[in-house]
Amino acid sequence: MTVLKDRTLAAALATLLLGGCDGRPQVLEDLNILEAASYFSGASNRERTPRLRLLRDSINNRITVACLAGTSVSRLEVPATGDLDERLSVLSEGKVLKIADGRCSPAFPVFVGRDREELADIADAGAADLRPLVGRLTRRLEGELGDRREMLFHLLWSRVIDVIWSRAWRLAFADDELPVVAWVVQPDHPYAVGTNYAFLPGDASLAITWSPHFSEHLSKFPDANYELLLAAWGEDVEDVEARAELEAYGLFDESGKSRLFSYPDGAHLDEVLNEMATEYALAAAKAYDWETVAQRLEIHPGDAFVVLLHEVAYAVFEDLHKAGALEVPALLRGGGSKERAVELVSVVTGEPPGPSVEAMALYMKNGWHGNAEVVAQFRKALRSDPDDIEILWYLGLSLYDIEEYAEAVRAFEQVLALAEGDPDRLFERDWSRIWMGHVYDVTGRRDRARTYYQSVLDSPETSGRGMMGQYNIGPVDVKEWAAQRLETPFARRR
């Protein structure tokens, strides 16, 4: 591989003495674009999504940084970069760079220097319009929380503002599919935050708020999914190691009682939060004329929508915090003790802990894969409810994982029998057929496999898009996947 020497891109990088948001020059020579990027991935339309993993290569990253200023390609063409043309071609095909009229520039939204200032100005204008609404929502939620006011910011952000993207999108772009977007804003807004969501066993859900200043809790909480569920239901957490880790983040008070904030799915608070989210979605969708603002930012309207709804929210937080109307937790601003991390977490509960929930917790902790212990737990759960279709479904996948193929087929046959004729079980109906096809493919019975794939294609109803990331499947329409498997057999990935 040709190695770029420091002087190779010196001329191009010198053009990146760009004005920062504080008015001081900012040299972006050391910018790691992959680390600086933000992502919106709650969708499946990847039409404009750049392959930013190409920037794991430091040379590709330096070339892309040099192109941020729209530099001439000829300034990059020096003898030390013998593979430059090939790299530019790969970056262009990967939607990282645009090459036009002899110049290179990013093919995805990047806001640095003057562009960052322009974005801030536009976001501030939108924030001024939305601030009264968010202030009113804040007061309403504060009234609902009683003595748990410390949870105000987390719930407002994670359960109201950060869940409205698809609702607001359908209002703003009724005929378009929500995109997957990657973008870079440097420097970050000082009040930038995000939320990671995860399923917990028993149809519960976990929300964890983080910021560029504090994300230490992100791995600890999801890894303790069953323990969190026990805490949410007020039951003892007996796993000593997990309990000690959660204690360090403030989950238990001095008496050992859980401080985890939780509420039932469908409860009054859940209804209030959904009402607030709907109200915010309506206002956010109308925050701008998206075509006009996209032209001003020189990006796609859909990208402008995703980027600005984040930046506007951050600007609102800053304004309300400085006005004393909304306390943004110190941890998210680079201060405070990690024992306050419990204030950045909430659980919406579903089923109480029991054999099926315990089995699902073990399966999830094993990376959504089965092993002998997981299979035993699923079978134990089925002794109390032999027709639990979800447990049977995951048992089938787990048996596939440990190569008990005949048993896996029997489990999927049970799933199919329970799902047939039930309009709420189209996913299990379609994908149990798909997985029987998979099993017959990996065991060399191709004709039998094709029969199951064809049955999915012949069905007048369809479960639509599905995803099983642990098997590198999807998001994909089930009939599209069946058609692919008719062409090429399923191959087990080890």
Residue 371 lies in a domain: yes
- The confidence score (pLDDT) of residue 201 equals 87
Q: What are phi and psi of 473, to 5 degrees?
A: -110, 125
> Tens of pLDDT along 94-134?
999 999 988 999 999 999 989 999 999 999 999 999 999 99
Residue 494 within any structural domain of the chain: no
Tens-place pLDDT, residues 136-188: 999 999 999 999 999 999 999 999 999 999 899 999 998 888 888 999 999 99
What's residue 467's pLDDT? 86
Question: Beta strands of 270-362 (E only): which ranges?
Answer: 345-349
Assess if residue 17 is contained within a domain: yes
- C-alpha 297/C-alpha 299 separation (Å) is 6
Residue 288 within any structural domain of the chain:
yes
8 A C-beta contact, residue 140 and residue 326: no
Res. 373: pLDDT tops 70: yes
Residue 224 resides in a domain: yes
134 within a domain of the structure (yes/no):
yes
**What global pTM score does this model have?**
0.82
Among candidate residues 72, 91, 108, the one where a domain is terminated? 108
Query: In the 8-state DSSP scheme, what is residue 280?
Result: H
9-23, 205-219, 345-359: least confident range: 9-23
- The number of folded domains in the chain is 3
Last residue within a domain, chosen from 349, 372, 400: 349
Claim to verify: residue 370 and residue 435 sit in the same structural domain = yes
Same domain, 160 and 205: yes
Q: Which of 316, 349, 382 is the last residue of a domain?
A: 349
User: Which pLDDT tens digit goes with each residue over 420-465?
Assistant: 888 899 999 999 999 999 999 999 999 999 999 999 999 988 888 8
With H, G, I as helix, E, B as strand and everything else as coil, classify residue 15.
coil
pLDDT tens, position by position, 321-371: 999 999 999 999 999 999 999 999 999 999 888 899 889 989 988 889 999
Residue 2 lies in a domain: no
pLDDT of res. 318: 97
**Judgement on whether residues 96 and 243 belong to the same structural domain of the protein:** no
Residues 386 and 328 placed together within one structural domain of the fold:
no
In a domain, 145, yes or no: yes
My answer on whether 301 and 157 are in the same domain is yes
Q: Which residue has the tokens 């040379």?
A: 59
Which three-class secondary structure state does DSSP give residue 109? coil
What whole-number distance in Å separates Cα of residue 367 and Cα of residue 223? Answer: 10
410: domain CATH number? Answer: 1.25.40.10
Res. 73 pLDDT band, cuts 50 70 90: confident
The whole domain housing 481 covers 355-487
Expressed in angstroms, the distance from the first to the final Cα of the chain is 30
Span 377-408, pLDDT tens digits: 999 999 989 999 999 999 999 999 999 999 99
